[in-house]
């Protein structure tokens, strides 16, 4: 309907403009034609002798109705050709020697003044000529026919185009509905959509479906891994608990310690899951403020030393003598570094080194261990998804989410995260953070 209405309005506007312009051109041409005749005739009528005046006028096709006399007061003496009336003629302009042109109804006219001297007296006359203007009936009929044809073509084009658009849109809507119902096995044919915008929309829907497939596969893998990580310690806890109840355990204290250790694994896994869920929440944000890294790192080293010592590890803290101030969230930074140190404690052989240093406009924090290094098969995934970690001290196995949480925290704090493994010594791993905008207190 919009296309049809636009076509009709365009044809009507252009048709009306064409009629007005053609009418104006016809009027101008007719008046120019009458002016040429009037100029020629007036010369003859002005200088002809009275005896030849009637004959001259008859030869030029001019009757008495075409010649009027203008009194000095401006009164018209004589009759005017139809449809002109005395009120049509502006005698004041004729008295000044100017000719008049105009239209009356469908007739163009000209009043051309000339003077004659009769018996020593000069009198003012005016030659009044008329000519019918071309009829506007045929142009009007032509415009109407063009409007009808244009409307028909517009309806045909609009129907074909809107049907095509509707089919494409309905196909995309159906695909979106299937995706909403959980069906991701959809193959969209973008080649059938000639419109670029629709093809772009189909491409965006394809990318969304691809992302959903990847997310769905990652979620399934994640749930399977979490289920396995939960099932393993729960099975161990249940087995030892049943053995204690059945009095089938020779050393209940050892069994109890195993239950405590496996319970700790579950508690740690749940804590990691809660941290990850919070980081994925849209409202989870960082509150930045000036932070003294020396204070943060000292607190971190003191808090992890008991666990490190229990595993036979030494904590080495290296930082410059002067204070290092950065603008960041201290709680989130401490959580990030704590996860890195926790990961290092699992795999270090003898020591863990925590270092802070200036590097141009950045402050670089490093957490390094002398463990076996990161296995090749998980190097590309440690920051992007849950990984199946290798056992650490006493065959201790983490949740596989620690480094994923570290990556989320680094993104939240807008710091660069990376690692080097193995170290130049041939083993070990060093994770580093580059915190920009270091500033004095």
Q: What is the CATH number of the domain that holds 252?
A: 1.10.287.130
Task: Count up the domains in the chain and report the number.
Answer: 3
CATH number reported for the structural domain that contains residue 71 in this entry? 3.30.450
CATH number reported for the structural domain that contains residue 314 in this entry? 3.30.565.10
Of 101, 121, 138, the position where a domain reaches its end is 138
The mean per-residue pLDDT over the stretch 235-263 comes to: 82
Residue 175 in domain: no
Residues 372 and 298 in one domain: yes
Mean pLDDT of the chain: 78
pLDDT score at 232: 64
Backbone dihedral angles phi then psi of residue 354, each to the nearest 5 degrees: -115, 120
Of 138, 157, 180, the position where a domain reaches its end is 138
pLDDT score at 385: 57
Residues 305 and 317 in one domain: yes
pLDDT single digits (tens) 315-326: 999 876 667 888
Residues 196 and 224 in one domain: yes
Residues 71 and 212 in one domain: no
Residues 264 and 318 in one domain: no
Residues 63 and 73 in one domain: yes
pTM for the model stands at 0.47
Of 267, 284, 301, the position where a domain reaches its end is 284
Q: How many CA atoms lie within 13 A of 333 on its CB side?
A: 30
Residues 122 and 192 in one domain: no
- 99 Cβ contact list (under 8 Å, min separation 6): 35, 38, 110, 111, 112, 113
Asked if residues 93 and 136 have their Cβ atoms less than 8 Å apart, the reply is no
Provide the domain limits for residue 212: 188-284
Question: Hey, which residues does 109 pair with through a beta bridge?
Answer: 102, 130
pLDDT single digits (tens) 367-399: 999 998 888 877 777 777 555 555 555 545 555
Q: Is the four-CA dihedral 387, 390, 395, 396 of positive or negative sign? A: negative
Residue 158 in domain: no
């Amino acid at each position: 309907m919009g296309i049809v209405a636009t076509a009709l309005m365009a044809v009507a506007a252009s048709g009306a403009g064409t009629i007005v312009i053609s009418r104006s051109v016809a009027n101008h041409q007719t008046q120019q034609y009458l002016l040429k005749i009037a100029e020629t005739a007036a010369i003859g009528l002005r200088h002809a002798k009275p005896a030849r005046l009637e004959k001259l006028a008859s030869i030029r096709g001019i009757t008495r109705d075409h010649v009027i006399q203008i009194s000095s007061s401006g009164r018209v003496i004589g009759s005017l050709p139809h449809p002109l009336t005395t009120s049509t003629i502006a005698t004041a302009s004729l008295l000044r020697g100017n000719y008049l042109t105009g239209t009356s109804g469908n007739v163009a006219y000209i009043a051309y003044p000339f003077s004659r001297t009769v018996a020593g007296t000069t009198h003012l006359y005016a030659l009044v000529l008329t000519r019918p203007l071309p009829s506007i009936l045929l142009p009007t009929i032509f415009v109407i026919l063009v409007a009808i044809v244009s409307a028909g073509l517009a309806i045909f084009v609009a129907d074909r185009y809107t049907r095509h658009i509707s089919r494409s849109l309905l196909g995309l809507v159906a695909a979106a509905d299937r995706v909403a119902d959980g069906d991701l096995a959809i193959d969209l044919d973008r080649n059938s959509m000639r419109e670029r915008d629709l093809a772009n929309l189909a491409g965006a829907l394809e990318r969304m479906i691809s992302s959903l497939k990847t997310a769905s596969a990652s979620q399934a893998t994640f749930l399977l891994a979490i289920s396995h990580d939960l099932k393993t310690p729960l099975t161990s806890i249940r087995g030892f608990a049943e053995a204690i109840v059945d009095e089938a355990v020779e050393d209940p204290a050892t069994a109890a310690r195993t239950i405590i250790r496996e319970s700790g694994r579950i508690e740690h896994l749940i804590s990691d899951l809660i941290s990850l869920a919070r980081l994925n929440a849209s409202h989870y944000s960082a509150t930045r403020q000036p932070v003294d890294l020396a204070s943060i790192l000292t607190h971190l080293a003191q808090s992890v030393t008991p666990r490190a010592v229990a595993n036979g590890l030494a904590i080495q803290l290296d930082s410059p003598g002067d204070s290092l101030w950065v603008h960041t969230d201290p709680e989130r930074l401490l959580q990030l570094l704590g996860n890195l140190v926790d990961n290092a404690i699992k795999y270090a052989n003898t020591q863990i080194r925590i270092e802070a240093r200036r590097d141009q406009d950045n402050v670089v924090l490093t957490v390094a261990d002398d463990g076996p290094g990161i296995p090749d098969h998980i190097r590309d995934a440690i920051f992007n998804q849950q990984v199946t970690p290798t056992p650490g001290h006493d065959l201790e196995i983490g949740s596989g989410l620690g480094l994923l949480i570290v990556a989320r925290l680094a993104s939240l704090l807008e710091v660069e995260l990376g690692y080097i493994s193995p170290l130049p010594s041939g083993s070990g791993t060093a994770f580093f953070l580059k915190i920009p905008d270091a500033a004095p207190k």
